[in-house]
Chains A and B, each alone.
Chain A
Amino acid sequence: MTFPRVTYNEAYLDEQTKRVIRRALLKGVAIPGFQVPFASREVPMPRGWGTGGVQVTASVIGPDDTLKVIDQGADDTTNAVSIRQFFGKVASCETTTRTDEATVIQTRHRIPETPLSEGQIMVYQVPTPEPLRWLEPRESETRRLHALEDYGLMYVKLYEDIARYGHVAKTYDYPVIVNGRYMMAPSPIPSFDNPKLHRSPALHLFGAGREKRIYAVPPYTDVISIDFEDFPFEPQQFKTPCEACGSVGVYMDEVIVDDQGGSVFVCSDTDHCERVAAARAEDDLQAQEASA
């Protein structure tokens, strides 16, 4: 009979650490969009690979949960697969790739196309939690700007974009105002996904492991992308339907298909793409049978 050489606590982190993180999460939920400092612990992956998200997931997940992990919308990339397997092992939870079956979804870069529902938790891996960081390098100063709600600086950035390019050039990590108060970086999700945060029925938790910050958007909270009156916020649009499933109105990846520069657009959300393609195949089959 063999025993595992090391027995991990449930969900890897020790209970005390999980309590600390839950405390930070509660504070984050109580003050939507506010960055709560926390003592980021080591987890068995390098910082920058989603350690913040992993710590948040570890603190909210239990054996009854079903976990989905996506990276750039895909369930089958290395990082997504290994994080999913990690929690399957240490938290003894179910794992899935289906958005509608998951209770906890850890993500980098995307919010799934399938609408989220009440009771679901989105966990974001955040590289730079401070939306004002590239404009003001001093942490002491950005904190003061948040405290005084002094966000003119971000509009200077938008102004510069419009003056230079004729439109706001930022297409990911597009800053939002949460609950009419705090400016928040929605992590590097495309601006396409920003509207999905607005009054979302799900709970959104953001963890930045390297920067040691946690913040949150509770369910049904106003999340407004900042803009000018005469240059309203416009999420990115795609003209062509998905090459694989024919979906329109979803976020696309451009895939190079040959070495002549040819490319096709396919859904970035692999779960959505598979299900639409399967449903279409079934419809085609039924149509064939009906005509036969």
Chain B
Amino acid sequence: MTAVFTGAFDSGQPLLSVRNAGHRYGDRFGCRDVSFDLWPGEVLAVVGESGSGKSTLLGMLAQRLGTDEGSIRYRIDDQLIDLSDLSEREVRRLWRSEWGFVHQNPADGLRMHVSGGGNVGEPLMAAGWRHYGEIRTRAEEWLKRVEIPVDRIDDTPATFSGGMRQRLQIARNLVVSPKLVFMDEPTSGLDVSVQARLLDLLRGLVADLGLSVIIVTHDLAVARLISHRTLVMKDGAVIESDLTDRVLDDPHAEYTQLLVSSILQG
């Protein structure tokens, strides 16, 4: 058992509450009838094969895609607010101050021709920071935290390796101390040793900051390493959800059994 509950579970209210939510592409549902609660400090993994609706679910939760049925409620000031009631301005405020989104491809989440420091500083500037020295100091702290040499602060991510880019993207997302971070396959596309380091780093940061995380992955090892709970998706529906260790060690659904047994044993 590697996943440890570290977050502050408070006030008996979830951070995010999803009920029967679905997103439709034309007349076909990308994901449908998804229900779960996410608690503060909890890491939730969404696993499944490609095309199972994982990324659609993530996009819908992060309000990048619309919610066509059901509801997604998020806790703001101890009240669960239906996200579809918020204006675009309020959703953007959530993106800027309370949420992070880590893309699979760092180029989607970074400005590739803006320096590393500028990338980390941008969310701060968007949040109203207007002191160059303070922005730079904070950016340096975060580069150190994600193990990027501080003397690379003025280099653009275009000159970084894949692992460094991904770590930079994580720093950029965490710099504003979000409450909830969405991650879409953050470790795919990296080689195995770099993946391991990144996961280690992520696990440390999540524990230190008490973040809630929803992480989409097709890699069950990633789910086991950092998540408390796992949702298994197939054909746009959640077919199994429980504590990660329970799901992976004692899979109930037939598809989950197939998924677990198809891991290469080495």
Contact = CB atoms under 8 A, between A and B. Distances in A.
Interface in A102-155: 144, 148, 150, 152-153, 155
Interface in A193-240: 227-231
Q: Report, nearest first, the 4 A-B pairs whose CB atoms are least far apart.
A: A152-B126, A155-B125, A228-B132, A152-B125
B88 A159 contact: no
Q: Among B121, B123, B125, B135, which residue has the most Cβ atoms of chain A within 10 A?
A: B125
Given A148-B88, A156-B111, A162 B125 contact: no
Interface string A228-259: 11110000000000000000000000000000
A163 interface: yes
B110 to A, nearest CB: 12
Nearest to B136: A163
A164 interface: yes
Interface stretch (B112-120, B225-233, B248-256): B112-120
Contact of A159 (B92, B123, B132): B132
Interface in A150-176: 150, 152-153, 155-156, 158-160, 162-164
A103 B233 CA distance: 71
Nearest to A227: B130
A160 B118 contact: yes
A150 B132 CA distance: 18
A163 B89 contact: no
Nearest to B153: A163
Given A163-B115, A229-B130, A230-B132, A156 B92 contact: no
Interface string B121-163: 1110111001111011000000000000000011000000000
B132 A162 contact: yes
A56 B187 CA distance: 56
Contact of B118 (A159, A227, A228): A159
A135 to B, nearest CB: 9
Given A160-B114, A163-B115, A163-B117, A152 B122 contact: yes
A156 to B, nearest CB: 5
A229 B131 contact: yes
A220 B209 CA distance: 48
Contacts of A227: 130
A148 B89 contact: yes
A175 to B, nearest CB: 14
A143 to B, nearest CB: 12
Chain A contact patch, size range: 10 to 19
A164 B113 CA distance: 13
Nearest to B131: A229
B172 to A, nearest CB: 11
Contacts of B121: 156, 159
A168 to B, nearest CB: 10
Contacts of B117: 159, 163
Contacts of B125: 152, 155-156, 159
A228 B122 contact: no
Contact of A148 (B92, B123, B135, B136): B92
B115 A153 contact: no
A159 B154 CA distance: 11
A144 B92 CA distance: 11
B126 A164 contact: no
A164 B132 contact: no
B95 to A, nearest CB: 10
Given A155-B125, A163-B136, 11 more contacts: A148-B88, A152-B126, A153-B126, A156-B114, A159-B117, A159-B132, A159-B135, A163-B117, A164-B115, A228-B130, A229-B131
A164 B154 contact: yes
Contacts of A156: 111, 114, 118, 121-122, 125
A158 B126 CA distance: 13
A231 B139 CA distance: 17
15 contacts: A148-B89, A148-B92, A152-B122, A152-B125, A152-B126, A155-B125, A155-B130, A156-B114, A159-B135, A163-B115, A163-B118, A163-B154, A164-B115, A164-B154, A231-B132
A159 B153 CA distance: 12
Nearest to B126: A152
A160 to B, nearest CB: 5
A230 B153 CA distance: 19
Contacts of A155: 125, 130
Nearest to A231: B132
A55 B192 CA distance: 63
A228 B130 CA distance: 5
